Amino acid sequence: MDTSGPWTRASGATGLLTDGIARPTVFARISARAAQTGAANLGQGFPDTDPPHKAAAAAIAAIRAGHNQYPPGAGEPVLREAIALHQQRRYGLDWDPAGEVLVTTGATEALAATVLALVEPGDEVVTLEPFYDQYAALIALAGGVHRTVPLRIAPGADGDLATTVDAAELRSAFGPRTRMVIVNSPHNPTGAVLDREVLVAIVEEAVRHDALIVTDEVYEHLTYGPAHVPIATLPGARERTVSISSAGKTFSVTGWKIGWVTAPSPLVTAITGTKQWLTYTSGAPFQHAVAVGLRMPDEAIAGIADDLRERRDLLVAGLRSVGFTVGVPEAGYFVVADTAGLGEPDAEALCERLPTEAGVAAIPLTAFYRPGSAESAAAGSLLRLAFCKDRPTIELALERLAGWSGR
């Protein structure tokens, strides 16, 4: 996209704090290319499977029942109660639906309102690298300083890609100016579930430096190994933690954009103060439907994860047979694959070519790094492929990749 135009400043600047965030994302670009070329789109992480029937029926019923106007700013009471009940029942976390739960326009708005409300210019914000790309944009919008801790991706003893976080490196990212650490477990893009020792080290450093913990848990229910441990359940964490989740990934409804925040009331009050100027409120009928979804029995939600695990296994096995070195994700929507073994050391260039060359779309892992960082260079041959797609799409992509790799 050309960002120049009659509205841009004479200097060519767009008026945004950094030029980088004004460009369309690689996800938008590659999804558009996939649509143009008819490529099997394993790029952007949206499912092409249906949501649970019960939740979809509840959304239609809510529209018919007249839930079509602005919901209360904090969210429909029925959803705030369902969120509080869910946190209590699943994790033993008690939150008051009247002051400690805030419904947002997806986890995206929850993250935006949280960072904009709580980070002042010059404050340092710690994340892992690679990171969900919105974090860097939000830190820039708030005028914060982004500090990163490497989440290293390298072949382990079994030859598969494995992820590690070095505790000493993690601790050294914190300092007197640290205002916030953004934790993302299960992690996008790698599908890693952070070890308890890493979570404990984060809480200890946050306490030592009086920093806030913001935890993005949108993949909390999509785990294929160890169950998710919310960082807010660790000793000393609750009072300084903002927990964020969303219905989009759990229920395969990324277009509904219903997310939420749970946190102690002074934090929720501050975040609400910003949120009211972003969207104010949204998604009335979907809020009712998500309240129904969150009350579904645990087995129904586990069934969604089991189904995804099968598609993960399908994609992992297929990518291996094509010749990629792969990581087996413990959670989430994505597999990371290394293309170096196929004689393709530059994943960014490959992802630009793949839709036309192979009829498949994937995202280069460098999209989740700071441009030009040392860690980004080390990830130059890695791609991210989504398995939240239906089986025929995954099978078609694998067939095409097999044909392409035999060029």
Ligand X SMILES: *Cc1c(COP(=O)(O)O)cnc(C)c1O
Binding stretches for ligand X (CB under 6 A): 106-108, 132, 184, 188, 216, 218, 246, 248-249, 254, 257, 259
Min separation Cβ 110 and ligand X, Å: 8
- Of the pair 174, 286, the CB lying nearest ligand X is at 286
- Of the pair 207, 305, the CB lying nearest ligand X is at 305
Instruction: Give burial (CB, 10 Å; 0-12/13-18/19+) of 140.
Output: middle
Q: Which amino acid, 128?
A: L
- Of the pair 109, 205, the CB lying nearest ligand X is at 109
Residue nearest to ligand X (CB): 106
- Of the pair 238, 257, the CB lying nearest ligand X is at 257
- Of the pair 188, 366, the CB lying nearest ligand X is at 188
- Of the pair 179, 384, the CB lying nearest ligand X is at 384
Q: Are strands 258-262 and 360-361 parallel, antiparallel or unpaired?
A: unpaired
- Of the pair 36, 276, the CB lying nearest ligand X is at 276
- Of the pair 184, 243, the CB lying nearest ligand X is at 184
Min separation Cβ 258 and ligand X, Å: 7
- Of the pair 43, 359, the CB lying nearest ligand X is at 43
Min separation Cβ 155 and ligand X, Å: 25
Min separation Cβ 242 and ligand X, Å: 13
Min separation Cβ 332 and ligand X, Å: 7
Q: Which amino acid, 288?
A: H
Please check whether residue 328 is in contact with residue 160, taking contact to mean a CB–CB distance below 8 angstroms. yes
Min separation Cβ 176 and ligand X, Å: 28
Min separation Cβ 192 and ligand X, Å: 12
Please check whether residue 364 is in contact with residue 27, taking contact to mean a CB–CB distance below 8 angstroms. no
Min separation Cβ 136 and ligand X, Å: 13
Min separation Cβ 340 and ligand X, Å: 26
